Amino acid sequence: MNEVKSNKDYNPEMHSAEHILNQTMVRMFNKGRSFSNHIEKKKSKCDYHFDRNLIKEEIEQINKKVNEVIQKDLLVTEEFLHRNEALESFKLSQLPEDAGDTIRIIKIGDYDACPCSGMHVKSSKEIGKFQIISTGFENGVLRVRFKLLKE
Ligand SMILES: [Zn+2]
């Protein structure tokens, strides 16, 4: 749910990885997508409302699942919905106020769908290899730091 950044550091690979990470977190823990994030080429971080830190096995499971999705080489496609239609399936609270009545939904194969105006890869394999660097937990916020390795 990020705005397009004109910043030259904007990295479609990292940003697309964030979509897959978020869907994986939703499926594993059912605590929602990241409410805040910082996406950069070298390393990124996503923050989640959570109740504890992750254990090593969970981190390994997330790495494995995200990389499985990447390796499936899923197509990244866009779809446009009217705001009212979009509201039936998505939380739009993080979209910019000037997003207008047409909402762009980004789909990563049949794995994830999320309103977003950012830039993405064309298919998931372009992302490379996903790896969590570390996680931390403080005041109800789980922070996941990750990087991508080019294979
Ligand atoms: Zn996006």
Residue 137 Cα, ligand 1 centroid: separation in angstroms?
A: 25
Residue 76 Cα, ligand 1 centroid: separation in angstroms?
A: 10
pTM: 0.91
Q: Which of 95, 132, 96 minimizes the C-alpha distance to 114?
A: 95
Q: According to the model, what pLDDT value does residue 4 have?
A: 52
Q: According to the model, what pLDDT value does residue 92 have?
A: 77
| Alpha-carbon distances, residue 138 vs 60, 67, 135, 142, 150 (angstroms) | 21, 27, 10, 7, 31
- Does 10 score more than 70 pLDDT? yes
Residue 69 Cα, ligand 1 centroid: separation in angstroms?
A: 16
Give the pLDDT confidence of 92-147 residue by residue, as tens digits: 777 776 778 899 999 999 999 999 989 999 999 999 999 999 999 999 999 999 99
Strand order in 141-149's β-sheet?
36-38, 44-49, 141-149, 129-138
Q: According to the model, what pLDDT value does residue 6 have?
A: 54
How far is 12 from 9, CA to CA, in rounded Å? 10
- Does 17 score more than 90 pLDDT? yes
Give the pLDDT confidence of 23-71 residue by residue, as tens digits: 999 999 999 999 999 999 999 999 999 999 999 999 999 999 999 999 9
